[in-house]
Amino acid sequence: MIRMGVIGCGYWGPNLIRNFVEIPTAAVVGVADLDQERLNHIQGCYPQITVTRDYRDLFRLGLDAIVIATPPATHFRLARDVLLHGLHLLVEKPLTLASRDAQELIDLAEEHDRILMVGHTYVYNPAVWALKEIIKSGEIGHIHYLDAVRVGLGLFQRDLNVVWDLAPHDISILLYVLGSDPIGVSARGIACVQHGVEDVAYVSLLFPNNVLAHIHLSWLDPCKVRRITAVGSRKMVVYDDVESLEKVKVYDKGVERPPYTNTFGDFQFAYRYGDITIPNIRFTEPLRVECNHFLECILTGKKPETDGYNGLRVLRIIEAAQKSLSNHGSQEQIICEVKRKVERAMA
């Protein structure tokens, strides 16, 4: 039985608590939050859990692991303390707000031989696995571009803009499905509601082999859209997370150029409208898959799919996007190479 503690039970924390409570190999022993009302709510749902306003009380409960679901600005300080107390750690996204802090957490986890995992939940989503499989199999041909849209009336954050809040989802999906890191990024955004906090942003990423990816992020849109389109040389695929059942559709659509043209009148493209296929996806709650994976990594010592290095790669892209956003869309290079402490020492 893995004894768990959770720090932060605001909006997202209760989902993590519910999942770990329902998994037979885990027991949620303690929950900490600064807000007594949130603790009362959790205590009402789960009377067996010890609740506290001081997260340091959790260190006296004989825990094996802690989950951090507090605002991103607090992640580094709390995560560092958890690792220094020798506990396994699952941190919500983004891992930290600075890559040097993320690196310090990775080093600490390695020194203490503890699991460090980041809550990039979409990587544990069966529909995203299907998207990756379709791209990897070559079914849609060579990828020309990907278009991601994550918009709606969002939960406005006071300190972090929409890129820090929402882009970790799409970036983690893109890294996972493409299996490579981007080489450059540019971003533009505007702050419509709160001064200085961009609530709408357009982020462009260039991946190797000239694969272009674009992410549209907004907390200020009338329609909730969570969609990624991948356009290949043979087919196109759409992953729509808002769809309840048919989340992934493969379109046998395309445009073919005739081999030669003599006049402008001859210059006609042949549009191909073929079948639309919908793979059958056995859907499980992604957060349940993520929580089970964290427990499995603790028990077996396996490296998490979204380990600290994965969190660091996502973070470096967001940092570069933020730099571009502040510089009116400047082109920023991304160096995603991540090295272990020993490799850095030898370099």
Ligand X SMILES: NC(=O)c1ccc[n+]([C@@H]2O[C@H](COP(=O)([O-])OP(=O)(O)OC[C@H]3O[C@@H](n4cnc5c(N)ncnc54)[C@H](O)[C@@H]3O)[C@@H](O)[C@H]2O)c1
Q: Is 7 in the site for ligand X (CB under 6 A)?
A: yes
Q: Is 159 in the site for ligand X (CB under 6 A)?
A: no
Burial 134-155 (b: 16+ CB within 10 A, else e): bbeeeebeebeebebbbbbebe
Subset of residues 46 to 85 that bind ligand X, contact rule: CB under 6 A: 55, 69-72, 74
**By rule CB under 6 A, what string of x and - marks binding of each residue 8-47 to ligand X?**
xxxxxx------------------xxxx--x---------
- Residue 13 or 189: the one with the smaller Cβ distance to ligand X is 13
Q: Is 311 in the site for ligand X (CB under 6 A)?
A: no
**Least CB distance to ligand X at residue 199 (A):** 16
The Cα 77–Cα 52 span in angstroms is: 18
**By rule CB under 6 A, what string of x and - marks binding of each residue 230-269 to ligand X?**
----------------------------------------
Q: Is 304 in the site for ligand X (CB under 6 A)?
A: no
- Residue 32 or 248: the one with the smaller Cβ distance to ligand X is 32
**By rule CB under 6 A, what string of x and - marks binding of each residue 116-155 to ligand X?**
---x-x----------------------------------
Residue whose CB is nearest to ligand X in the complex, by number: 10
**Binding residue for ligand X (CB under 6 A) from 92, 170, 319, 332?**
92
Q: Is 93 in the site for ligand X (CB under 6 A)?
A: yes
- Residue 156 or 267: the one with the smaller Cβ distance to ligand X is 156
Site of interaction with ligand X (CB under 6 A): 7-13, 32-35, 38, 55, 69-72, 74, 92-93, 119, 121
